[in-house]
């Protein structure tokens, strides 16, 4: 062992307790933002070659800790120490951490859609010849990296033409180009379907065999149980515990208890449904692709939702779930939309978003950051955005009433922030989702369409969202929930429609539904007789 405390090649333990089995040690990390202590004395140890999961509720400090590690928050902006391979390091930029083989892939992918795959992979790390970029070398090396991550795409393909699953693989290929030794992934499967998620997790196992250590932040406890060697739980900016996932007591319930500070014996709140009269119905609903002439995205769909009823819509990626919802909400998707929509048995005009809102329809998008919220505005402006007319008189918005309305929703939906003047972009995912719900609840809708309402939020916040959905149904609202998670639909819905290849293939009441029956309906190509 050297005099400066670094671990020698043949030593097992340094004088301060670090071992040569640890590739990373973060000790007593404290990070403070104005008025908020995001991290307080957080410590993390990661063994060489393992897959290490980090769990915690939204806002617990997980991403902040990884930004400290990767140099996004540079040395000097936090207290504590970081050791890599037994040597204390101080990263002042991402370039510093990447030079040591530490690469982070953020939840919001950092790709340029108009550049090619190869250009994105080597952006900032260009393959230069005598004086110019060597495009032959760039594309050839990109092709090798794409093969390594199992992505069969031409390196010159613009990234914007790829789905989110393939874009995630481009990000990983980009990390591989930097000789990564410690790969950090922040919610890597949050926006992926089951097939893409399984492929990505398989890659992590391959990298592990190649000696690459991975740290994965995730809310998907089943994935963590399947792939992680160790799991560290963070709650309210503090380390709760690190558990060996091979231990018999390393259960999902234990992880949840550590994350939320209490038992969640039921993942879904108890709810007794009392559906009333039909609120909404579509018949022969057909939607054509906005740019590909003649391509039918939704084919003669029919569904209904009653007052006080929670109806689910299940389908594989590309089945047309979001396209159906957006087309109902003021023809927000599709070049040609045909069919009939009814509210309370009367045909309704929903050709524009305003007409949809006027008819009592609200749509909470699956992409809250891009389409659901103004991230640079405060909570009160976001809550009032869809119904400003209720606050306006003589062309002026009543600012005092706007604050009062937002404050009412802040309290009733338990939005965790001290003030409605807080900027929405700085809230956790769960609290952002509550702001989206507040915005649409203020329009006083009769039909609320929720597209992936719990995507990217933790189990504690999910339970709160489910409770809100139940309360809406109890208040007589008709609720249509779109979700990629079949257990979620089975846990909260009264009936579940299935969608495959743009066609409604079945509808099952909760008591007759299970994952196997739903999956069978989600993969069949021809419409069967619907179950009432």
User: DSSP characters for 237-258?
Assistant: TEEEEEEETTSTT--HHHHHHH
Q: What angle do CA 434, 438, 444 make, to 5 degrees?
A: 145
Domains of the chain: 22-260 (3.40.50.300), 275-360+445-532 (3.40.50.300), 375-444 (no CATH)
Residues in CB range of 288: below 8 A, 6 or more apart: 294, 295, 296, 297, 334, 335, 336, 337
Q: For 134-212, list the strands marked E by DSSP.
A: 182-186
Give me the count of residues in the chain: 532
Residue 196, Cα to own-chain centre: how many angstroms? Answer: 14
Token representation of residue 140: 């050839």
Closest CA to 185 of 195, 175, 198: 175
Give 369's Cβ-side CA count (13 Å radius). Answer: 12
Q: How far apart are CA 343 and CA 305, in angstroms?
A: 10
Provide the 3-class DSSP secondary structure of residue 32: strand
Residues in CB range of 479: below 8 A, 6 or more apart: 305, 309, 310, 311, 447, 448, 450, 469, 472, 473
Contact 217, 66 (CB under 8 A): yes
Contact 47, 230 (CB under 8 A): yes
pTM of the model: 0.66
What separation in angstroms does the CA of 225 have from each of 191, 197, 515?
Answer: 19, 14, 20
Provide the pairing of β-strand 79-84 with 87-89: antiparallel
**Strand partners for 495:** 311, 509
Residue 57, Cα to own-chain centre: how many angstroms? Answer: 13
Q: What is the pLDDT along the chain (532 residues), one digit of tens a residue?
A: 333 333 333 333 333 444 558 999 999 999 998 767 889 999 999 999 999 999 987 678 888 999 999 999 999 999 999 999 999 999 999 999 999 999 998 877 789 999 999 999 999 888 887 778 889 999 999 999 999 888 889 999 999 888 878 888 998 999 889 889 999 998 888 767 777 888 889 999 999 999 999 999 987 888 899 999 999 999 889 999 999 999 999 988 888 888 877 665 678 888 998 999 999 999 999 999 888 788 899 999 999 999 999 999 998 767 889 999 999 999 999 888 999 999 999 999 999 999 999 999 999 988 888 888 999 999 999 999 999 889 988 889 899 999 999 999 999 888 888 899 999 988 877 788 899 999 999 999 999 999 988 877 777 778 888 999 999 999 999 999 999 888 899 999 999 999 988 999 999 999 999 888 898 888 775 444 444 4
């Amino acid at each position: 062992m050297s005099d400066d405390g670094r671990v020698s090649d043949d030593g097992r333990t340094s004088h301060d307790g670090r071992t040569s089995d640890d590739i990373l040690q973060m000790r007593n990390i404290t990070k403070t933002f104005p008025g908020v202590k995001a991290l307080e004395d957080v410590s993390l140890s990661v063994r060489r070659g393992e897959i290490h999961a980090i769990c915690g509720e939204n806002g617990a400090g997980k991403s902040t800790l990884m930004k400290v590690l990767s140099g996004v928050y540079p040395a000097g902006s936090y207290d504590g120490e970081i050791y890599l391979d037994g040597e204390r390091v101080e990263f002042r930029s991402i370039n510093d951490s990447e030079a040591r083989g530490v690469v982070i892939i953020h939840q919001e992918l950092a790709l340029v859609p108009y550049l090619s795959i190869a250009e994105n992979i080597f952006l900032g790390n260009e393959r230069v010849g005598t004086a110019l970029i060597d495009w032959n070398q760039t594309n050839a090396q990109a092709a090798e990296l794409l093969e390594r991550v199992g992505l069969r795409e031409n390196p010159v393909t613009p990234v914007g033409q790829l789905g989110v699953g393939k874009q995630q693989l481009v990000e990983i290929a980009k990390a591989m180009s930097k000789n990564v030794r410690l790969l950090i992934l922040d919610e890597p499967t949050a926006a992926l379907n089951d097939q893409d998620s399984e492929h990505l997790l398989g890659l992590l196992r391959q990298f592990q065999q190649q000696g690459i250590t991975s740290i994965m932040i995730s809310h998907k406890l089943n994935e963590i149980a399947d792939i992680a060697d160790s799991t560290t739980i963070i709650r309210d900016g503090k380390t709760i515990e690190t558990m060996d996932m091979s231990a018999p007591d390393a259960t999902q319930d234990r992880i949840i208890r550590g994350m939320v500070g209490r038992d969640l014996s039921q993942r879904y709140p108890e709810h007794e449904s009392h559906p009333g009269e039909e609120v909404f119905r579509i018949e022969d609903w057909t939607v054509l692709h906005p740019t590909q002439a003649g391509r039918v995205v939704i084919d003669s769909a029919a569904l209904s939702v009653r007052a006080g009823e929670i109806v689910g819509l299940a389908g594989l990626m590309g089945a047309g779930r979001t396209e159906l919802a957006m087309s109902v909400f003021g023809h927000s998707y599709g070049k040609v939309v045909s069919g009939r929509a009814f509210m309370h048995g009367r045909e309704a005009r929903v050709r524009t978003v305003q007409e949809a809102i006027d008819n009592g329809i609200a749509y909470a998008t699956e992409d809250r950051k891009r389409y659901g919220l103004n991230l640079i505005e405060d909570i009160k402006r976001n809550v009032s955005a869809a119904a400003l007319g209720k606050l306006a008189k003589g062309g002026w918005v009543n600012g005092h009433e706007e604050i009062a309305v937002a404050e009412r929703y802040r309290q009733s939906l338990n939005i965790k922030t001290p003030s409605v003047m807080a900027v929405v972009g700085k809230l956790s995912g769960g609290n952002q989702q509550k702001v989206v719900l507040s915005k649409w609840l203020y329009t006083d809708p009769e039909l609320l369409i929720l597209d992936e309402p719990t995507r990217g939020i933790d189990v504690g916040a999910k339970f709160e969202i489910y409770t809100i959905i139940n309360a809406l149904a109890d208040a007589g609202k008709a609720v249509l929930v779109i979700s990629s998670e079949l257990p979620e639909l089975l846990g909260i819905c009264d009936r579940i429609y299935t969608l495959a290849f743009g066609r409604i293939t079945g509808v099952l009441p909760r008591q007759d539904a299970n994952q196997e029956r739903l999956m069978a309906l989600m993969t069949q190509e021809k419409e069967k007789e619907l179950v009432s």
